[in-house]
Amino acid sequence: MTDLLTSIQAALGLPHTPIPFKSSGALPSTFAVTDLACASIAAAGQAVSELLQQHTGRLPTLEVDRRLASFWFATSIRPVGWSVPPLWDPVAGDYSTKDGWIRLHTNAPHHRAAAESVLGSCADRAAMANKVAQWAKSDLEQAVVDAGGCAAEMRTWKQWQTHPQGQAVNAEPLVQFTADDSQNPKPWQGSVAQPLAGVKVLDLTRVLAGPIASRFLAGLGADVLRIDPPTWNEPGVVPEVTLGKRCTRLDLHDKTDRAVFESLLKDADILLHGYRADALERLGYGVAVRQKLAPGLIDVCLNAYGWSGPWQNRRGFDSLVQMSSGIAEAGMQWKKVNKPTPLPVQALDHATGYLMAAAAIKLLGRGGSARLSLARTAKLLIEHGAGTNEPLRAEDDNDQGMLVEQTPWGPAHRLQVPLKITGTPLQWALPAGELGSHRAQWW
């Protein structure tokens, strides 16, 4: 456990201070998922604690609850009388090929269309399975990727270490910081109760990792404005990740919307984005343009497969990176089954989200950028060795907070927060809401 925490502290430039973890047990997994959950949440908390010491002279103490950290890495919302839509498209998942396994990620309609442009239209998993079985895994992975879709063949960790992309990402730092010493820092407007009050966060991230980062920042008082394209939706995760945020839509191919975006960016303190490495460049908002529009902007970005190597611009998600990097294959060996066995939760997404939040907080007052990737977080987890079989005590009603969150879908509770920072409660002013439900403006 301490190994994971000290690795993360070193990557973020945080002091190697021990942080207490209370309760026992872990998510059953071939890798130490609960330890990763605790360490990444603790590091985000430590970044807050250091910020407060810098501005108040007092260093708050921290504590992380192992059970609650594990549960939050799955889902934190507990709907009352309604349910969150399913996370996965009906044909998304793992399929057997002529020579191994492949995962198809079809949650977005255009990603499903890309897979079907290669394999033919498939009404259900059985039809998809029949078509996939006629392909070799590497050929199908390449064909789906070439069609603009998302797929990953199952590799072992050993194979990933010799693969050009595995070699490239494994040589990168866990968090790649670039300093920006040219700017005068903005004065701190926060307080012990709300350390990030007055901080404006423009959130261009999707699905899980980035939205987990901005949810954490919102819980500390930041003003988070999430921007999505006109037709994008992710109903299976919106109630989980939009807590504390306002959400709007802009079309960055439209001249009027671009002007709105640029005015929002000029006033932002932090930009979070999870586009592929070349996507903002292609929209005309590359690094140099962003710095010119918003001098001193803290720019925190992630992608799936890293920032160098042949796949740096490849579409990817947590479940695909688990297939590529050897996690799903290691799980199969651990469970002694004959099919890919991913982690029990999307731990690469969640952990990377907390690391992004920690990096953003670390850069407050001095500017600069940070780059992270799901594949590099995978290396961190794999290299820190085996998980444990000591079970977590089952969730009960005492694990839920007292507040009722009035969401557009119905009332809900949230689980108690796994991180305690003395004097600084994580609390959210806004309930989770629909994408596009707010105007494109700062408060």
pLDDT tens digits for 98-129?
999 999 999 999 999 999 999 999 989 999 99
Least confident of 37-51, 124-138, 232-246, 273-287: 273-287
> Which one-letter amino acid corresponds to residue 103?
R
User: By the 8 A CB rule, do 80 and 118 touch?
Assistant: no
| 308: its two tokens | 């160098």
Sign (positive or negative) of CA dihedral 176, 56, 246, 253: negative
pLDDT digits (tens, 9 = 90+) for 273-300: 998 878 899 999 999 999 999 999 999 9
pTM of the model: 0.97
Give the pLDDT confidence score for residue 305 in this predicted structure: 98
Q: Read off the pLDDT band of 2 (50, 70, 90).
A: low
Joined together, the tokens standing for residue 135 give 């392909």
Nearest to 84 by CA among 92, 93, 72, 75: 75
Q: Strand order in 100-105's β-sheet?
A: 93-97, 100-105, 150-153
What are the CA-CA distances from residue 360 to residues 278, 326, 442 (Å)? 21, 29, 19
Band (184; pLDDT cuts 50, 70, 90) = confident
Q: What is the DSSP letter of 186?
A: P
- Going from the C-alpha of 50 to that of each of 15, 236, 309, the distances in angstroms are 9, 35, 35
Question: What's domain 4-84+171-306+345-421's superfamily in CATH?
Answer: Crotonobetainyl-coa:carnitine coa-transferase; domain 1 (3.40.50.10540)
Tokens of 341: 């066995």
Domain ranges for the chain, please list them: 4-84+171-306+345-421
Q: 3-state DSSP: the chain helix, strand, coil percent, rounded to 5?
A: 40, 15, 45
Q: What is the DSSP letter of 377?
A: H
